[in-house]
Structure 1
């Protein structure tokens, strides 16, 4: 880690009674620092505000949050910035009664070097056997309870230990509908129409996904089975660090990465 602050003071220590640690009671956002500034800073702050509102987390000074992001980012040409906001400290038990109000953690770490390789060469996509639970109350929010993603990541690492050589896994929900990938949202192109999963029951509604929904002329938000991906002309993954990257292979189907880039460029 390159930098860390808690409540706008440089430190990597936090009280063990923090509700984020105890219950996953909090939210976060992760973004790309480029040339001394966080890309799409307003979108990240708006996302945090929306997520805190959904979880009724209060006591956050948003001007201080923005100033800390700006100050922390200033010394880095390329890095990863993560902002965590928890519901504060409280006593034992689920109740927030007596909680101190939001704790703000800002961390900066190295930018994932393999993302640059994926951007140039595309990535290989496999299929996770794990099924995401259905929870409309939390769907779309990037909350701190990410145990499902931890288990999916373990599966991905096991795939590579077994020499399957996949970069990411597409994940479905309990209804067998495509939701997302371990660390990214997913789009696919068939004919002249883009598709992306409906995230009303599970999954994370990423900022890069939102920008693509605005930029592309025709995107169908759908509940689709994995078989749809096998019929796609191109598949793309996206998140705030990665940007939009084409898939070069999904299961047994191989895609032309340069052609996928051209197809996307025609619509943007």
Structure 2
């Protein structure tokens, strides 16, 4: 850990009655820091604001939060920042009564050492047997309830792949463990619908907005079997080609060329 603060004070201590710890009552965003600047800065702030609104969290002092982010990443050449907002401290029970002040947690960590290799060589993609539940009330939000992702990661640690495709309980493709997923077929770009499950990643949203020929679909894993190219994305990785999916292999240069046509 390179830096940590709680409510704008440099520390790694948190109240044991915090609702983020007790119930996962909160949201977070994770971003890439390059030369003292947070990539996709405004998109990360808007994500936090949207998450607070959707979960009806106490409203932070946004200027104070942004000032602390700037302070935390100042002078960092390459790092990862995570900003967490919880519903704050409350008495025992699910009710938020008495919880009027959010808890703001900011941490800065080393950039994942294996990500540059992935960016240069692409990734090997498998399939997770863990299924995601459906909940339109929380779909798309990067909330603190990450038990499904923990189970996926536990399984992924036993597999000889870099990432894993995850489906929902209806067997529709949703995402990967830590990334969104896209595939190309006949120069058309496809990505899963996330209205019932999954996280609407910042890079995913930017790709959708900047690409004319993109379709948001409900699709089974068979769609990847016949894809011309597959790639994954998140705020730390950017866009990473898949070079192997199960028994299929893709030439990284061909994948990059196809992405350029979409």
The corresponding residue for 1:162 is: none
1:182-221 C-alpha deviation (Å, 9 max, x unpaired): 0000000001100000000100000010011012121100
Q: Deviations over 1:46-99 (max 9, x none)?
A: 100000000001130000111111111112110000000000000000000011
For these two proteins, the number of residue pairs brought into alignment is 262
Correspondence for 2:85? 85
Residues 1:227 and 2:215 are matched in the alignment: no
- In 2, the alpha carbon distance for the partners of 1:201 and 1:260 equals 29
Matches within 5 A, 1:236-251: 236-251=231-246
Give, in angstroms, the shift of residue 158 of structure 1. Answer: 1.5
**1:121-152: CA deviation from partner (whole Å, max 9, x where unpaired):** 00000000010001111000000000000000
Q: Match for residue 156 of structure 1?
A: 156
Shift of residue 113 of structure 1? 1.5
For 2:60 and 2:43, the matched residues in 1 are separated by: 17
Deviation of 1:262 (Å) = 1.7
Q: Confirm or deny that 1:144 pairs with 2:157.
A: no
- Residue 198 (str. 1) matches residue 193 (str. 2): yes
Secondary structure of the residue that 1:260 maps to in structure 2? helix
Provide the rounded CA distance (Å) in 1 between the counterparts of 2:66 and 2:59.
15
Displacement of 1:107 in angstroms is: 0.4
Structure 1 equivalent of residue 66 of structure 2: 66
CA distance in 1, matches of 2:132, 2:27: 19
CA distance in 1, matches of 2:260, 2:107: 34
TM-score by length of 2: 0.99
Q: Any idea what SS the aligned residue of 1:98 has?
A: coil
Contact 1:57-1:101 within 8 A present in 2 as well? no
Q: TM-score, normalised by structure 1?
A: 0.96
Report the Cα distance in structure 2 between the residues aligned to 1:242 and 1:13, rounded to whole angstroms.
Answer: 30
The CA RMSD over aligned residues, in Å, is 0.7
The DSSP-based 3-state class of the residue aligned with 2:260 is: helix
Aligned residue number for residue 111 of structure 2: 111
Match of 2:180 in 1: 185
Secondary structure at the aligned position of 2:91 is classed as: coil
What is the alpha-carbon distance in structure 1 between the residues aligned to residue 156 and residue 193 of structure 2?
A: 23
Secondary structure of the corresponding residue to residue 31 of structure 1: strand
SS in 1 for 2:175: strand
Show CA shifts across 1:88-122 (max 9, x none). Answer: 00000000001142110010000011111011000
- Supply the distance in 1 between the matched residues of 2:227 and 2:158 (Cα, whole angstroms): 27
**Shift in Å, 1:264:** 1.3
Gaps of 5+ in 2: none
| Residue number in structure 2 paired with 1:54 | 54
Q: Provide the rounded CA distance (Å) in 2 between the counterparts of 1:25 and 1:9.
A: 21
1:260 aligns with one of 243, 255, 261:
255
Gap runs ≥5 in structure 1: 160-164
